[in-house]
Amino acid sequence: VQLYFSPLACSLATRIALVEAGATAELTSVDLKAKRTADGADFLAINRMGQVPVLRTDRGDLLTENTAILQYVAEAFPDAQLAPRDAWGRAQLQQWLGFIGTELHKGIFAGLLDPRAPDAAKAHTRDKIALRFGVLEAHLTGREFLLDRFTVADAYLVTVLTWTIAVGPTLSDWPAVEAYHRRLLARPSVAAAIAIERPLYAEEQARRART
């Protein structure tokens, strides 16, 4: 498979899943500002939304949307056990993918990370943090992962929580979430994926500062 990614964007979740699966994948970085891929292609022709991740399957088909791509990777590499096999387990996985995608990623972080969002919009977004992190705190108290074992939902959640370093909130208000984040950052697949993307992120920031 081929994964279009941008350093430390939500495509990091798929990179973590690919590392977990031991998959050989082609990773192509995308400049989300210029909407160009590292090999010079027009990214809007690949994804009209201009968003990462985009996955190109071995058959050449394109798939967008993080929650769909993560489940595709889990299904493509079943030995890695990145998703439950039973119906109720899958429903719970989809529940958490939905919560992270809509309530955390779109509901909170997309707004806080958006450079064009007006201050009033950001303040309104911050009002939503307490309820949503309270739900996470209640669920993660006494748990190691969102489900019984590591799944693609954890790959997504640790990615989203990493953005708190840039835009808050401070996780110390939610000790179970903070401990979960620290634990997941120490997981080899997560540490390896971030170790690759952090310098790429720094390079991108430096390149943008120069232009």
CA dist 4 to 56, 71, 171, Å?
8, 16, 30
Cβ–Cβ under 8 Å, residues 42 and 36: yes
C-alpha distances (whole Å) from 171 to each of 120, 127, 130, 138, 143 are 23, 15, 11, 14, 17
Pick between residue 16 and residue 97 the one whose CB is nearest to its own copies: 97
Bond from prior residue into 53 cis (ω within 30 degrees of 0): yes
Min CB(91)–its own copies separation in Å: 5
Q: Nearer Cβ to its own copies, position 96 or 150?
A: 96
Query: Rounded to the nearest whole angstrom, what is the least distance from the CB of residue 98 to its own copies in the complex?
Result: 3
Query: Which is nearer to its own copies, 175 or 199 (by Cβ)?
Result: 175
Smallest gap from residue 94 Cβ to its own copies (A): 4
Beta bridge partners, 29, equal 5
Alpha-carbon distances of 11 from 36, 119, 128, 138, 191, rounded to whole Å: 16, 27, 24, 27, 15
Compare residues 105 and 187 and give the one whose CB is closer to its own copies. Answer: 105
CB of residue 139 to its own copies, shortest distance in Å = 9
Q: How far apart are CA 158 and CA 139, in angstroms?
A: 15
**Residue 150 to residue 167: CA distance in whole angstroms:** 26
Nearer CB in complex with its own copies: 152/171: 152
Distance in angstroms (rounded) separating the CA atoms of residues 205 and 184: 25
Question: What is the token pair recorded at 118?
Answer: 């007006």
Q: Which is nearer to its own copies, 173 or 203 (CB)?
A: 173
Nearest approach in angstroms of CB 32 to its own copies is 14
Q: Which residues of this protein are in contact with its own copies, per CB under 8 A?
A: 48-49, 57, 61, 63-68, 71-72, 75, 87-88, 90-92, 94-99, 101-103, 105-107, 110, 116-121, 123-124, 127, 131-132, 134-135, 138
Question: Which residues lie closer than 8 Å to 159 by C-beta, 6 or more apart?
Answer: 10, 12, 13, 16
Shortest gap between Cβ of 130 and its own copies (angstroms)? Answer: 12
